[in-house]
Amino acid sequence: MTDDKMENGNGARSANGAAAGAGATVELPVLTRKDFVSDQEVRWCPGCGDYSILAQTQKVMPDFGYPKENIVFISGIGCSGRLPYYMNTYGFHTIHGRAPAIATGLKAARPDLMVWVITGDGDALSIGGNHLIHSLRRNVDVRIVMFNNRIYGLTKGQASPTSELGKVTKSSPYGTIDFPVSPLAIALAAEASFIARSVDTHTEHLQKTLEAAGKHRGSTFVEVLQNCNIFNDGAFRDFTDREVREDRMLILENGQPMIFGKDRDKGIRLNKHLPEVVTIGENGVSEADLLVHDETDPLIAWMLAHLWWPDFPVPVGIVRNLTRPTHDQMLSDQIAQATSTRGAGDLKRLLNAGETWTVE
């Protein structure tokens, strides 16, 4: 953009008015959750997990210090794809699977914006798999939040790429014969610089996770386990329910040993190169034997992407967090570099380049 409003740089400003980015010094009102609620009626099924994800998203928005006009929500198609209509920011409900591509172009044109992508397991991993992979590997500075309900909700209950093998759905009356994928493993293989998982109903944890995602710079992938109470009710109940979750889920903390359980007595230890569940105090196991989480370790991330109940507790939290140059930053740098070495483009010279002649 030649418009000075749209110059490169961080469009974030802290809510108390201090400039958090270049060139922003304007006093801004303190924003609250309510500022991010649009006037549109929310139309998900009553009891859907999407309500909670929306509420937590609206709650964390003021924390980032961006004025709301600098925040954009882009979605694909699916129940999840409705979310942008409910955010009082800029929003773009695009086409099935392509939101990461549209976000890539927007972010390239407008590095000053904070861009979120809202997607579903079918939208992101089926029809949009290619765009997901490539936006992650390019480290496009976009936060992708994937609502994983292990089903196609909007189209009324067909199997999705995360549906478990043998699952009976409308499109698989004899059970699916397709092995499911781990979304975290795909994000990892695609070299996302930030990967995390949370649960719709674990509101505090979800808020914390979204907050960390919002503060990351670069390709950010968050899988939210989401209950579709109409077409796949209770998909995660076995380990997310209040009564069992502490014993069946592992909350990741960077630099901390992998401990879980109501009594904080269970942990993950490596046996040769494979993880196993152990009990602290039994068979001579102490906390010192446990694996310590490291958000920069690719092997730990790979292992975490494959832990699942009932063989293991299901990990939630930040799996990976790396600092890498972002796509828009490298693009802007190249332009700055080319301009400083070759001078700002001179159209007249460009048109007259090469061999020319004059006709009288």
Partner 1 sequence: MNPAALKANLGELPAGGALIVNEDAFTAQNLQKVGYAANPLTDGSLKQWNVFNVPISTLNGRALEGLGLTNKQVDLTKNFFALGLMFWLYERDMAGTTAWIDDKFSKRPEIAEANKRALKAGYNFGETTEIFHERYIVPPAKLAAGHYRNITGNEATALGFVAASKLAGRDLFYGSYPITPASDILHQLAGYKNFGVKTFQAEDEIAAIGAAIGASYGGAMGMTASSGPGIALKQEALGLAVMVELPLVVVDVQRSGPSTGMPTKTEQADLLQVLYGRNSDSPVAVVAPATPSECFLYAIEAWRLALKYMTPVVYMSDAFLATGAEPWRIPSLDDLPSIAVENRTEREGFYPYLRDETTLARPWAVPGTPGLEHRIGGLEKADILGNVSYDPENHHRMQLLRQAKIAGIAGDIPPLEVHGPAEGDLLVLGWGSTYGAIRSAVERLQSKGASIAHAQLRYLNPLPANTGEVVSSYKRVLIPEVNLGQLSMLIRARFLIDAIGYNRVRGKPFRIAELEAEAERILQTIGATVR
One-letter amino acid at 284 equals G
Q: Which two tokens stand for residue 337?
A: 């570099």
Q: Does 80 bind ligand TPP (CB under 6 A)?
A: yes
Alpha carbon distances (Å) from 357 to 3, 349, 350, 352: 37, 14, 15, 10
223 makes contact with Mg ion (CB under 5 A):
no
How far is residue 4's CA from residue 76's CA, in Å, rounded to a whole number?
Answer: 31
Specify the DSSP class assigned to residue 81: G
By CB under 6 A, tell whether 162 contacts ligand SF4.
no
Residue 318 in the binding site for ligand TPP (CB under 6 A): no
Q: How far is CA 62 from CA 58, 200, 300, 306, in A?
A: 8, 20, 33, 34
Query: Min. distance of Cβ 16 from ligand SF4 in angstroms?
Result: 37
* Residue 230 near ligand SF4 by CB under 6 A: yes
Tell which one of 120, 313, 315, 317 touches ligand TPP (CB under 6 A): 120
Lookup: tokens for 235? 């998909």
Closest to 129 in 3D by CA, of 50, 76, 201, 205: 76
The region of 41-49, 94-102, 247-255, 320-328 touching ligand SF4 under the rule CB under 6 A is 41-49
Residue 121's binding partner among ligand SF4, Mg ion, partner 1, none (Cβ under 5 to 8 angstroms by kind) is: Mg ion
Q: Cα 92 from chain centroid?
A: 17
Q: What does 50 interact with, of ligand SF4, Mg ion, partner 1, none (CB < 5 to 8 A by kind)?
A: ligand SF4
DSSP 48-84: -THHHHHHHHHHHGGGG---GGGEEEEE-SSSGGGHH
Q: Which stretch binds ligand SF4 (CB under 6 A): 45-53, 94-102, 240-248, 265-273?
A: 45-53
Calpha distance 234→191 (Å, rounded) = 31
Q: Mask: binding to Mg ion, 150-169, rule CB under 5 A, as x and -?
A: ---x----------------
Q: Does 50 bind ligand SF4 (CB under 6 A)?
A: yes
Q: Rule CB under 6 A: is residue 152 a binding residue for ligand TPP?
A: yes
* Bridge-based pairing state of the strands 266-271 and 274-279: antiparallel
Stretch that binds ligand SF4, among 40-48, 90-98, 189-197, 245-253 (CB under 6 A): 40-48
SS3 label, residue 248: helix
The β-bridge partners of 268 are 277
* Residues at the interface with partner 1 (CB under 8 A): 1-3, 5-6, 11, 38, 40, 67-72, 74, 77, 84-85, 87-95, 98, 101-110, 112-113, 130-131, 133-134, 331, 334-335, 337-339, 342-345, 347-348, 350-360
By CB under 6 A, how many residues form the interface with ligand SF4? 11
Contacts with ligand SF4 by CB under 6 A lie at 44-45, 48, 50, 79, 149, 153, 228-231
